[in-house]
Structure 1
Amino acid sequence: MLLEIRGHHLPGRTWAGDAVAHDDVHVGLQVGREPAELVPGDADRATWTTELRLVDLPDGTTDVRGPAVQGRRGERFVYLTWGDLGADGGFAMFRRAKLMLADVLALGVGTDSGLGPDDHVVATVDLTDERGGPRCARLEPPALTLALVRG
């Protein structure tokens, strides 16, 4: 299954909301401990796509695995990580937004077949918080909308 995250309304390339000036703000999908596919904070939009593998467990629950999946079983999520891009190309993370995969799995609840390997979930995220900074913490509506596209 594919998870496509479509970010819009990015907060800008500079930010000083946490008492530290950030001059080259970027956001990316966190894969392992590293940011991937960095997008400047002043871009019109950002898009990341990652694979999610659904694994049926002996206890009847479903686990989610994949290169960008973080957290313990039953609490899986994907991070969007915000950081300052240094002149040397180094990334200094200062915030993260968490997309809970239980919210993604809930799209298949009540359907005839649940979610399958050919499905595609689109998560649309407003990347600027209510104070004008990079959105962080758990992503929830109205900043997040989820849509299932059957494969």
Structure 2
Amino acid sequence: METNSRPPQTKWYAVKVLFESVHSGGSDHQKNENNDGNNIKLFEESIILVKETNMEKAIEIAEKFAKKAEHESLNSFGETVKHQFVRQLHTFELNDDEITIGTEIYSRFIHASNENSAIDVIKRYYPEVLGEDGDTE
């Protein structure tokens, strides 16, 4: 009996992961433009592109890549900075089989109340794009 087994079809996935920069050592009294002595933490969202047969496998591979990306370095203040993988946040299945210019690699819907304006959403989720006066331009 002949079987016509095809390999499982692969799809593209964009897996969003979260990293945290953990500082240790150095002087407690030192301030820099990124911390200002206000106990500010630094987190990084990263999107890892994976081609795999299903979402679970894509997440597994992205997490392996994220763990491999962990590293330590010494900053200019004598502090050890550990760039640590925290967790996978979201996975987006791409609608296109081929990656070309203009391919959407990530999208999410943000649920907000009817009272929230676009500026309210930007202030909450993307404060880094705001000007010093709180304006988006």
Normalising to structure 2: TM-score of the pair?
0.31
Question: As a proportion of its length, which structure holds more helix?
Answer: 2
- Specify which structure has the bigger relative contact order, considering alpha-carbon pairs within 8 angstroms and separated by 6 or more residues: 2
Normalising to structure 1: TM-score of the pair?
0.29
